[in-house]
């Protein structure tokens, strides 16, 4: 069986950054599942379908013309690597990700990322729904204050003009929605919890590699 490490957790807990480092260390592939929900949101905005219903958005997700190439992401041939990272896009992604039809439409696309020698996948339901067979399931988290500060710094460093109060409010609303939706909610059950509030990116990576090494030995 091809090994999978899942890294789920709330917004700005460091999932993407840490998952990419772990994948790099192990020579594994990497899936940023949130990008698929963000791409669906951007496609909806661009086609004037941001307020459309579940069926329409499900069809949009199923037919998403997406290409991942190295660190770049293309939507219908247009490079959208940065465009999908806005807070507006994250907010709409969170809203439409509550629709079961959208989640179902993206399921196979996510599973297609599983190729030898292995995969590190980050998101909200990687361990619970998409890769239940994962060799290691991590729930990465940090206090709301630390996460808000990280997201604020990240946006400022990209030159985005933001106010801390807005970042805190957006983060709180998105977490609440992702945690309380009926389908595939964010839930730490079955995963090893790693609170990175007082950890560096490297420390978080080292802990995950250590856990993986133990599980891989048991498997082998
Ligand atoms: N352990 C950590 N210590 C300090 N900063 C971190 C840590 N983990 C992530 N970050 C920073 O926090 C920001 C958000 O991380 P990101 O990987 O985008 O989170 P997520 O994918 O969970 O939304 C990034 O700028 C990243 O460099
Ligand atoms: N596996 C996933 C990944 C993301 N989502 C939804 C919920 C999230 O608020 C949005 C955006 O996800 P993303 O991981 O890009 O967001 P953050 O970078 O953590 O802020 O998509 C999901 O429902 N399931």
Whole-number pLDDT of residue 214: 97
Claim: this prediction has a pTM higher than 0.90:
yes
Q: How far apart are CA 149 and CA 145, in angstroms?
A: 6
ipTM of the complex: 0.97
Question: Which residues of the chain are under the pLDDT cut of 50?
Answer: none
Q: In CATH, what number does 4-219 get?
A: 3.40.50.300
Contact 14, 204 (CB under 8 A): yes
What's the token pair of residue 210? Answer: 């250590």
The reply to whether ligand 2 has any atom less than 6 angstroms from the CB of 38 is yes
Contact 33, 121 (CB under 8 A): yes
Whole-number pLDDT of residue 126: 98
* Closest residue by CA, ligand 2 atom 15: 34
Q: What confidence tens digit (pLDDT) does each residue in 3-27 have?
A: 999 999 999 999 999 999 999 999 9
Tell me if 188 is assigned to a ligand binding site. no
The reply to whether ligand 1 has any atom less than 6 angstroms from the CB of 12 is yes
Average of per-residue pLDDT values in the chain: 96
Q: How far apart are CA 60 and CA 40, in angstroms?
A: 7
Pocket test for ligand 1, best of 6, 20, 150 (most atoms within 8 A of CB): 150
Domain ranges of the chain: 4-219
Whole-number pLDDT of residue 160: 86
């Amino acid at each position: 069986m091809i090994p999978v490490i899942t890294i789920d957790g709330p917004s700005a807990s460091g999932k993407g950054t840490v998952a990419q480092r772990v994948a790099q260390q192990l020579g594994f592939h990497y899936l940023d599942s949130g990008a698929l929900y963000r791409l669906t949101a951007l496609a909806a905005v661009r086609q004037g379908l941001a307020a459309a219903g579940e069926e329409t958005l499900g069809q949009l997700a199923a037919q998403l013309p997406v290409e991942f190439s190295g660190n770049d992401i293309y939507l219908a041939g247009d490079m959208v690597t940065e465009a999908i990272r806005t807070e507006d896009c994250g907010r709409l992604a969170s809203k439409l990700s509550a629709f079961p039809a959208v989640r179902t439409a993206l399921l196979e696309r996510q599973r297609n990322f599983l190729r030898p020698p292995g995969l590190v996948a980050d998101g909200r339901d990687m361990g619970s729904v998409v890769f239940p067979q994962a060799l290691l399931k991590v729930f990465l988290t940090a206090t709301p204050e630390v996460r808000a500060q990280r997201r604020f710094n990240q946006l400022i460093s990209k030159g985005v003009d933001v106010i801390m109060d807005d970042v805190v409010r957006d983060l709180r609303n998105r977490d609440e929605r992702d945690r309380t939706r009926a389908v595939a909610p964010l839930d730490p059950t079955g995963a090893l919890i790693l609170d990175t509030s007082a950890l560096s990116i490297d420390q978080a990576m080292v802990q995950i590699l250590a856990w993986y090494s133990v599980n891989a030995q048991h498997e082998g």
